[in-house]
Amino acid sequence: MTHFPATRLRRPRASDWSRRMVRETALTCDDLIWPIFVKEGTSITEPVKSMPGVNRLSIDKAVDAAKEAADLGIPCIALFPNTPDTLRSEHGDEALNRDNLINNAMRAIKDAVPSIGLLADVALDPYTSHGQDGLVQDGKVLNDETVGILVQQSVLQAEAGADIIAPSDMMDGRIGAIRTELDKAGFSHVQIMAYSAKYASAFYGPFRDAVGSTGVLKGDKKTYQMDPANRLEAIREVEQDIAEGADSVMIKPGMPYLDIIREVKDTFGVPTFAYQVSGEYAMLLAAAQNGWLAEDAVVLESLLAFKRAGADGILTYFAPKVARLLNG
């Protein structure tokens, strides 16, 4: 290695053309997955207060959003239901309703926009009256019994047109169980993106507002989601999900966990995704709306950082905005 003055690291930085030539990472529309909130009704575009610019959409509007995504070159959208309290129950039965909001939305979107990838979230929290991701008995979230329901939820979602099943529940063993049932039901072509390292994070607040879980959730999720203090455990979680058949893995939240993304990518080399969660979105936008950060620049930088950390793609509420910026 040569040293100064033979080496001047500022030399290639001196002009735009040169910076472009030595740039190590790029962010493109292919990196984006757009999470969308769906709600019962028609012609509804209802703002989520804690996420300025994000709306809950009725199915017809979600179809429009899917068209917009396809036009912008966004490869995939992820759907999350806002479930009214009346449809929530102790066991989250609505998850197994073939014609629930999410399954109907997927059918409508597949029909209207067949070219877009559809990611379906698997977990019970949108459907339980207690807001936990699984069945609860004596104050404990049951693992194996919950997995038994998640496999059924997954098959129904695959039947409705899901291209990617994304279990976000963090139960042990669910990836293998879901893979087996999907294959048996004739869905061996349907992918699984495992929320492998999902942390019990304080950054999910605005999402719970968006899906109507605020005030519903009793307690916390620390007995199944990961401790933010742990790194090695994330590697074990990812290792197990890959062994059980995950096609890709996810780290969540994103920006506070870039170290985990890097380590997972370096260790396994599998398709690795990150979720820039609602709290990250809210944080960046709140500062931008106060004039404290330059919105476009900070959003692009935040997403480029995921790519630099090794992510192959990012679930982000900024997806349409960023696609517009990237498309110029």
Site for Mg ion in 232-251 (CB under 5 A): 237
| Cβ neighbours, 10 Å, residue 270 | 17
| DSSP one-letter code for 227 | P
DSSP-assigned beta bridge partners for residue 38: 57, 81
CB 98 within 8 A of CB 156: yes
39, 61, 110, 198: the active-site residue = 198
Residue 278 interacts with, from ligand FVT, Mg ion, none (CB under 5-8 Å by kind): ligand FVT
- Stretch of 21-29, 145-153, 259-267, 271-279 contacting ligand FVT, by CB under 6 A: 271-279
Q: How far is CA 77 from the centre of its chain?
A: 9
Instruction: Respond yes or no: is residue 252 known to be catalytic.
Output: yes
Of positions 69, 165, 193, 277, contacts ligand FVT by CB under 6 A: 277
Q: Report, in Å, the least distance between residue 149 CB and Mg ion.
A: 17
| DSSP one-letter code for 140 | E
Of positions 207, 257, 273, 306, contacts ligand FVT by CB under 6 A: 207
Q: Report, in Å, the least distance between residue 152 CB and ligand FVT.
A: 18
Token pair, residue 120, equals 């379906």
User: What distance in Å separates the CA atoms of residue 128 and residue 130, rounded to the nearest whole number?
Assistant: 5
Q: Report, in Å, the least distance between residue 66 CB and Mg ion.
A: 30
Does 121 interact with ligand FVT (rule: CB under 6 A)? Answer: yes
CB 270 within 8 A of CB 283: no
Instruction: Specify the residue, 185 or 283, whose C-beta has the smaller distance to ligand FVT.
Output: 283
Does 50 interact with ligand FVT (rule: CB under 6 A)? Answer: no
Instruction: Respond yes or no: is residue 222 known to be catalytic.
Output: no
What are the Cα distances from residue 313, in Å, to 150, 231, 264, 308?
A: 25, 21, 14, 11
Residue 237 interacts with, from ligand FVT, Mg ion, none (CB under 5-8 Å by kind): Mg ion
Contacts of 58 (CB under 8 A, 6+ apart): 38, 39, 40, 41, 42, 43, 44, 45
Residue identified by tokens 């989250």 is 92
Does 133 interact with Mg ion (rule: CB under 5 A)? Answer: no
Instruction: Specify the residue, 34 or 204, whose C-beta has the smaller distance to ligand FVT.
Output: 204
List the end-to-end C-alpha distance of the chain, in Å, as a whole number.
39
Site for ligand FVT in 156-185 (CB under 6 A): 168
Token pair, residue 172, equals 């042990």
Contacts of 184 (CB under 8 A, 6+ apart): none
- 295 marked ligand binding residue: no
Q: Report, in Å, the least distance between residue 241 CB and Mg ion.
A: 6
Residue 168 interacts with, from Mg ion, ligand FVT, none (CB under 5-8 Å by kind): ligand FVT
CB-side exposure of 8: number of CA atoms within 13 Å?
7
> From the annotation, which residues make up the binding site?
237
Binding site per annotation, positions for Mg(2+):
237
Using CB under 6 A, list all residues that contact ligand FVT: 121, 168, 204, 207, 277-279
Q: List, by residue number, the catalytic residues.
A: 198, 252
Site for Mg ion, rule CB under 5 A: 237
